Structure 1
Amino acid sequence: MKPEMKAFKISYHSIVLLALLMAGAVGCKKTFDKEPQQVLDVANMYRDVYDADAAIIGLYGKFVSLADKYVLLNELRGDMLNYTDNADMYLRQLSSHNVTADNPYTNPRPFYELILNCNDVLKNFQLMKRDNKMKEAEYNQRYSDVGALRSFLYLQLGIHYGKVPYVTSALATVDEVKNKANFPELTFDALIDSLILFTEALPFKDPYPAGTTLNITSDGYQTAKFYVNKKCLLGDLYLWKGNYTAAATKYREVMETSTNGTQGARYYMQYKLGWNGSAEDHYISYSRAGDATSLVWEPQWRHMFQRGQDNGFDYEWIWVLPFDSKFQPENPLIKLFSPVGGDYLVKPSKQAMDYWSNTPQRPISGQTGFLPYDARGIFSWREIGGKPVVMKYLYNYINYATNSAVNPLQKNGKWFLYRQTHLHLRFAEAANRAGKHKIAYALFNSGFASAFPPPSGVTDVTLYHNTLWEPYPFNFDARNSGGTGVPYYRADWYRNLGIRGRANVQNYTINGTDSLLQIEDGLIQEAALENGFEGTRWADLLRIALRRNDPAFLADKIYQKMLKDGTPDAAGTRARLMDKNNWYLPFKL
């Protein structure tokens, strides 16, 4: 049997990733040694590992076209993003949870088109392995990547539609999915079960190894960050399922990515939320302590959304895809968010602004009072021409000092999908539900050393700064004996700052005895402050509301958004969201 390719074709002019990798190492040349044509001929596909790489690049090239849909579904449905006066009726529907079946933003077809492409590629990879056209290690890496991408897409479908067909076979057209006799809809919970079963069985769960053809640095882009992280994905699936120790185990493996080799910046910082005393730290800081006018804009917290793919970028980001003006598709996020060179369709809600405004910073030693707001808000949104603007996606396009486009014709930017604070918050969510409340508190406040301090005057920290009495994955060692401590310790997690510690805001206050729910509330609040607008908000609200069987947890936040922004029918929206059936979008292919 010859390899088949029914539905999936690679259009070279529309794939930014392919163009980026074409500029890579000479050893990759064969990957792109194709006839110059609009669409790759089926007869020339799947001959060797380089063709397999081209197929994967094609999938991710198509995946980036979902960026605006991903952000809108996950943020506009939440409490932190609202529509502007420029928005059409369909964006207004999405924000108000009153969606009609013809809404183009909620059409699941683009997801299924890419899923069927994945199915086609997976089938042909199996045929290539059978025919010895790929070595087993090459097959394992590539098959697992495509399989994980498909699982991620299905997770998104489950989050937004609730019940969806789970199709794993190669089909000629999306219309075949409509046949419910062949492809019955799975409930969200059953879908999670299927995704865990499939994703756990993937033969390779690490990133592409350095030196392989899909892990290179080319034209300033580090391609290792382009691909879905399988362990983060599995952690998320287990978190949705309520298997909290399994979720924490997967997350911990990612957190320990660089805990090997020589101890240095990477060892202590990458995915550990550590400090290095350098431009890589991403603090909220001031050149004059306590002076609001001296807030550091460059190169700290704000800079992570602008910086190129250097060490600081590498330590923070787990999954991120670029938009480059030299290639198609054009960056759709500028159209969504920017009043300069864009259509300015969505904006931060008043509710989002209040979250940052009502989170005080830490007191300054020797000074009275403190700055009463979280400075992450200043970096996450700002006014341009009197309009509130989400800035995280615009720092490669708009000069933060002038509020004007660096170059109106170069709409560069990034699609942010996963970073270390997502990882820590979700580990903390799992740990909290697993009964490890203080560990969860440490991670999103000021770190392990602060949460587990030695008594005053004690320099032997053998019994402190750690949770080594806990089983894996909850056994953290943050011991730091200081310059004169005996015995001397610089343990793996001693530089851990905690999310709020890095952001220079006061620790979250826990009152009373019900620490589980209070910490969980704090984690969701912190996700808004730290990761707002990055495409996770609706999922966070939905997951907690489902877990608690508490529609008001979700409905009240959307109600407050609409109420504060003066959006019509806020009470009607709340009433709809008190019915769980209205948490999901109409499914119409």
Structure 2
Amino acid sequence: MAKRRQRRTNMKKYTKLWICLLAFGMLSLGSCSDFFEPDQDMVLEKKDHWDTHEKVRRGLIGAYSELQDVVEEMIVLGGVRADLLTVTENFDADLKELNEHNIGRNNSYVDPRPFYDVITNCNELIANVDKALVDPKFSEELRDAYKAEAIVLRAWTYFQLAQTFKTVPVITDPLGGIDGEYEPDMLNLKQMVNWLTEEVIKVADAPKLVWGEDISDQVWDRVFVNRNALLGELHLVAGNYQNAADHFYSAIITDGGGKDDSSFKCNKDETGGSWSSFWFVAGSGSAYLEQVTVIPFSAFRRQTNEIATLFSSVRSGKYLLKPSENAIENWTTEVDTPRDPRGLFGSYGVIDKRKQVTKYSSSTDDVFSIYRAADLHLLYAEAINRAGNPDEALDVINDKLRDSPKSNGIRGRVGLPKIDLLQYAGMEDTPQNLDKLEEVERLLLEERARELAFEGRRWNTLVRFATRSTDPSILADRIAIKFEKADLPAEGIRTKLSDPENWRIEFNMNFLKNN
């Protein structure tokens, strides 16, 4: 955590702006390893910051570069508080607080500053991008494209905060901080979702940026936050299920190049037989087809991805977190099925006689996926099920997405048999008593655990399902069982998490005031 703190941008209103620049040689990108190259010696006067296309481009890249500092928080907050990850004997005090849901105000993993560094950079670009119109190379169409990307990135960032905290301060001023008597509006999740949906819809049809034509530049298509995916999530949380399904479908089909293109389709033939190759090196092979939005890293540029150190006991690993017994049983309890490749030797393994998360390689150049194809398929299934189409949702889980010839479904892609809903529900010949929607909902929660374990998504998934069903036990029981299986006291956890008021964290404004 100390390394991350060193990179933070001060949010107060300076007369000079230190920005994270990329040495890209004007508008062409060299290679995937050239992401987010910082030049710490360059200082730009504010009056000169936005007067050319190149400076606007660098400003947007600077905003995206700040995402590298949010990854660890996303993995930890989305995993440790839920049912699939737990702490090892090497835990520190902050991780112990999260695991036991007794979170102190100064816990380093609930520090919002990395997220506000992204927001501040976006605010600056949104407020100043018009100044670049003095550059003959900078058109109004480009202005609209850059502004849209900044608005969407800011919206995604605020959405992450709103899912974590009870209320979140909204800052839209360029270089805005919280000091003096300034009191920003504080929005809860519902209010935030309403505002963000309006913001993203306004720019949803704006031109998209295209940088470079060579294969090494394709990864830029995967860096910008996918607009349809974000709108789908916002509508899903708001309960607008058909709208959510439409946006997820557009993200998969339209943004994935059409029905006959393998991109984003969960296509079995394109994986090379290796499920675990989907999220490592961006811009190549099956990983490129799976990744929808990623955060890239570059060890060469001293921007290392150290996710694996949280889970590994070898080399420089800290081995702070490990799979819970809940997680392992998700892959091993299905009867009469082949071994799930997403479990042992996929998402976890046994190293040094200890169970360890192996989903992330030891390479410090690996990308981190914000959105990937399987997640979009499962989100689509979740939305279309709640929109009243459980049969279609079950198809997505099993082996197909509507009429897309390239989609093999979530289970079909990894060679697992289709699930028969009657057998899954423990019923034989009484389909008239089967509540398909609720059974598919339960199945989706399990399938998300198998496919997306340890990727930082689980806590928000549990909250979303429990909120929608008005059944806190969906969340509370699963997390209590994590403690029971570890022979630890569980009833206090179950009681606390049975109250939805305890699902989100109080926002500590001192983090933003004490920069």
Q: Give the TM-score, by structure 2 length.
A: 0.86
Q: Return 309-318 or 524-533, whichever deviates more.
A: 309-318
Q: Spell out the pairing of 1:150-549 with structure 2 (5 A cutoff).
A: 150-175=154-179, 179-180=182-183, 183-202=184-203, 204=205, 207-209=208-210, 212=211, 217-218=215-216, 222-257=219-254, 267-276=260-269, 280-281=270-271, 283=273, 300-307=274-281, 309-340=283-314, 341-360=316-335, 362=337, 371=338, 373-378=339-344, 379-394=346-361, 396-397=362-363, 411-447=364-400, 476-477=402-403, 493-510=404-421, 511=425, 512-549=433-470
- One-letter code aligned to 1:374: D
- One-letter code aligned to 2:479: I
- One-letter code aligned to 1:248: A
Instruction: Tell me the secondary structure at the aligned position of residue 413 of structure 1.
Output: coil
Counterpart-to-counterpart distance in 2, 1:46 and 1:514 = 57
Instruction: Tell me the secondary structure at the aligned position of residue 382 of structure 1.
Output: strand
Instruction: Tell me the secondary structure at the aligned position of residue 302 of structure 2.
Output: coil
Q: Deviations over 1:169-224 (max 9, x none)?
A: 22442446x844xx231221111100101110115457533xx35x7654x87222
Instruction: Tell me the secondary structure at the aligned position of residue 343 of structure 2.
Output: helix
Larger Rg: 1
Instruction: Tell me the secondary structure at the aligned position of residue 430 of structure 1.
Output: helix
Q: Deviations over 1:464-505 (max 9, x none)?
A: xxxxxxxxxxxx33xxxxxxxxxxxxxxx2342111111222
Instruction: Tell me the secondary structure at the aligned position of residue 89 of structure 2.
Output: coil
- Structure 2 counterpart of 1:577: 497
Counterpart-to-counterpart distance in 2, 1:32 and 1:391 = 26
- One-letter code aligned to 1:555: A
- One-letter code aligned to 2:451: E
Aligned residues: 481
Q: Are residues 560 and 207 of structure 1, via their aligned partners in 2, closer, same or farther at CA, if it must alter by over 3 Å?
A: farther
- Cα RMSD of the aligned pairs, angstroms, is 2.9
- Give yes or no for contact 1:238–1:246 (8 Å, CA) kept in 2: yes
Q: Are residues 537 and 37 of structure 1, via their aligned partners in 2, closer, same or farther at CA, if it must alter by over 3 Å?
A: same
- Give yes or no for contact 1:116–1:174 (8 Å, CA) kept in 2: no
Structure 2 spans left out of the alignment, 5+ residues: 1-12, 426-432, 510-515
Deviation, structure 1 residue 162: 2.5
Deviation, structure 1 residue 107: 1.8
Counterpart-to-counterpart distance in 1, 2:309 and 2:237 = 32
- Structure 1 counterpart of 2:96: 92
- One-letter code aligned to 1:253: S
- One-letter code aligned to 1:123: A
Structure 1 spans left out of the alignment, 5+ residues: 13-17, 284-299, 363-370, 398-410, 449-475, 478-492
- Give yes or no for contact 1:428–1:440 (8 Å, CA) kept in 2: yes
